[in-house]
Structure 1
Amino acid sequence: MSTNLLSASPYSEIGGVVQEYFWNWENQQLRVVYESLGKGTQLLLLPAFSTVSTRSEMGEIGKLLSPNFEVVAVDWPGFGQSSRLAVNYGPALYHDFLEGFVASVIKTPVAVVAAGHSAAYVLQLANKIPSVFSRIVLVAPTWRGPLRVMGLNQQITGTVRELVRSPFVGQILYKLNTLPSFLNFMYRRHVYVDAAKLTPDFIQHKWRNTQQPGGRYAPAAFVTGTLDAVDNQADFLALARGLSVPLKVVIGESCPAKSRAEMDALATLPGVQTAVLPGSLGMHEEYPQAVVEAVRDFLLSSESSLS
């Protein structure tokens, strides 16, 4: 495992210094791309898992916080500009990656802002190694993949996953599910609130991100619930109860009902700080200024305690 400074490729997503982290999984080397911006104490930014997941969705939050921190934004393995190999993406892979990345690249304890499905992975690492994080911010946290939210059973979701992973049929299914028109529909349905922000350039950028070789493998795992780090709400809440560091949860007031109920349950736990803001599941990208205003003091109190 190592880090290298890159030159021309891959390109910057947030205007920072692009680097790569090499990491081995099941006898294959995966390249993970991350980007640093600003100076000071490090702050880890983890994007949500989704078909279009990329560190650029944390870009505006990173820019707004870069005067106070050295923000480090990561493309998860299988997403963004990181390697998209045909490995079996699942919780074990992401647990191992996050633990290894933080140990190799990040100066701990570090504050972290994690969006969406990243939440359970952060909570699990914080329970396993209490000294790794100083403060945790979860933005629109979720733990169930879309098909599981819809109530589909494991047999059906497993069949869907294998179909998308298969040659020919899988490529066709993935192409249909990443058409710009379909991406626009999904954003309008539960990701963004203001449809005027879904410009042709915005959707085209998201579409290009999905079209990299091997692009379908990790998204297929996410959509079918294969990346769910926990199996039920009780386990998710238990992770939050087990924390020894401060936790703040930022909730989008327009999140889908089932996802909102999970966030509200998390927010009721003793000691959990909460902010309810405009937005839905993509609030970290759609309303970055509001999110930063809600969490800046919380994060800065972590920095002062370490100085």
Structure 2
Amino acid sequence: MTQTAPARHDETFEWSWGGHELTCALTRQGTGPRALLLPALSSISTRGEMAPLQAQLAARFETVAPDWPGFGTDDKPRVAWTPAAMAAWLDHVLTRVVPDPALIVAAGHAAGYLLRHLAGDPARTPQLVLVAPTWRGPLPTMMGRRPGWLARVRAAVDMPVAGPALYALNLNGLVIRRMAKGHVYSEPAWLTPARMGAKRRVSRASGARFASVRFVTGALDPFETGDDARAAAAAMSRGRVQMIWGAETPRKSKAEMASLAAAVGVTPTVLPHGKLGLHEEFAGDVAAAILGQAAEIE
């Protein structure tokens, strides 16, 4: 008999930042010890990318997957998002929305913010799973630095009239597909028309450009330098951190992940396939790796 997946429940919670009252969305699924699933920060990311992994883990955990502020498919206010805002939101989630989780799974930049959050009080560290962890945005990673002219790019995209047009020009369907094929997904066929449509809806949401351009240009990086990221990783409690990434991860990102693993002092789980979106594309493999080390979590 095929086992029915636990029901999913969408909810919202309120959070304020910079004079704006925001309604943030999350999805709950399953019962058991509480597990927080943090999606990556990217121009096409939402909590929906965690849905395949969430369904796998829901048989063992009460899973909670929220959207980061400024991301997701809902309309967003004009906010000049900063690392301080993202850090404050994560603190709110961990103290008010999903307090004391037994497990936290964080993908991409979410892993960087989680390391930043816990580095000041490593004794509070629950079981952590960092999936393809990153701390530096796409353009700074490609260039190896954050040139000053990136601020002018952000200012141009923020403009009321020209900004949306510039953003749409640089994040159209062709660009999204090229980005996804280059460093997010392994199989080009995985990005079906339905999935592509969902990614386009993320990029087209009103106000999406404000967080998107800041992520791409490095203005939402949780750390200034690799040394800062490695110091936070080194502060984590030994035996509480698992790291997972795919063998097809882009070279520069993979090198940064390896340096974080060395700082934590863990041997990563490297899947034979997968790029930065492996938690979505290969959710079954990622879930198996997590559950293989989660037997004693209560």
2:15 paired residue number:
23
CA RMSD in angstroms comes to 1.7
Mapping 1:36-51, distance limit 5 Å? 36-51=28-43
d(CA) in 2 for partners of 1:186, 1:127: 32
- Cα 1:118–1:44 shift into 2, 3 Å: same
Tell me the CA shift for residue 227 of structure 1.
0.4
Asked whether the 8 Å contact 2:30–2:63 carries over to 1, the reply is yes
Given candidates 195, 203, 211, the residue that maps to 2:204 is 211
Does structure 1 residue 267 correspond to structure 2 residue 267? no
Tell me the CA shift for residue 119 of structure 1.
1.1
d(CA) in 1 for partners of 2:104, 2:281: 19
In structure 2, give the amino acid aligned to 1:116.
Answer: G
2:174 paired residue number:
181
Given candidates 135, 138, 143, the residue that maps to 1:143 is 135
- State the secondary structure of the residue aligned to 1:103: helix
d(CA) in 1 for partners of 2:123, 2:73: 29
Mapping 1:1-307, distance limit 5 Å? 16-81=8-73, 84-130=76-122, 132-151=124-143, 153-244=146-237, 246-269=240-263, 271-277=265-271, 278-303=273-298
In structure 1, give the amino acid aligned to 2:157.
Answer: V
- State the secondary structure of the residue aligned to 2:263: coil
d(CA) in 2 for partners of 1:99, 1:170: 31
Gaps of 5+ in 1: 1-13
Percent of residue pairs bearing the same amino acid type: 37
- State the secondary structure of the residue aligned to 2:296: helix
In structure 2, give the amino acid aligned to 1:269.
Answer: A
Gaps of 5+ in 2: 1-5
In structure 1, give the amino acid aligned to 2:189.
Answer: A
- State the secondary structure of the residue aligned to 1:155: coil
For normalisation by structure 2, the TM-score amounts to 0.93
Asked whether the 8 Å contact 1:36–1:73 carries over to 2, the reply is yes
Cα deviation code 1:115-157 (max 9, x no counterpart): 0011111011112343544111110111111111122533121
- Cα 1:73–1:132 shift into 2, 3 Å: farther
In structure 2, give the amino acid aligned to 1:218.
Answer: A
- State the secondary structure of the residue aligned to 2:249: coil
Cα deviation code 1:50-71 (max 9, x no counterpart): 1011001111100000010010
Number of equivalent positions? 290
Tell me the CA shift for residue 163 of structure 1.
1.0
d(CA) in 2 for partners of 1:82, 1:122: 24
- Cα 1:160–1:132 shift into 2, 3 Å: same
- State the secondary structure of the residue aligned to 2:294: helix
Tell me the CA shift for residue 109 of structure 1.
4.3
Ranges of 4+ aligned residues in structure 1 off by more than 6 Å? none
d(CA) in 2 for partners of 1:129, 1:270: 15
In structure 2, give the amino acid aligned to 1:259.
Answer: S
Stretch moving more, 59-68 or 202-211: 202-211
Tell me the CA shift for residue 213 of structure 1.
1.1
- Cα 1:192–1:77 shift into 2, 3 Å: same
In structure 2, give the amino acid aligned to 1:204.
Answer: G
For normalisation by structure 1, the TM-score amounts to 0.90
Asked whether the 8 Å contact 1:91–1:228 carries over to 2, the reply is yes
Asked whether the 8 Å contact 2:35–2:101 carries over to 1, the reply is no
Asked whether the 8 Å contact 1:31–1:83 carries over to 2, the reply is no
Tell me the CA shift for residue 164 of structure 1.
1.1
In structure 2, give the amino acid aligned to 1:162.
Answer: A
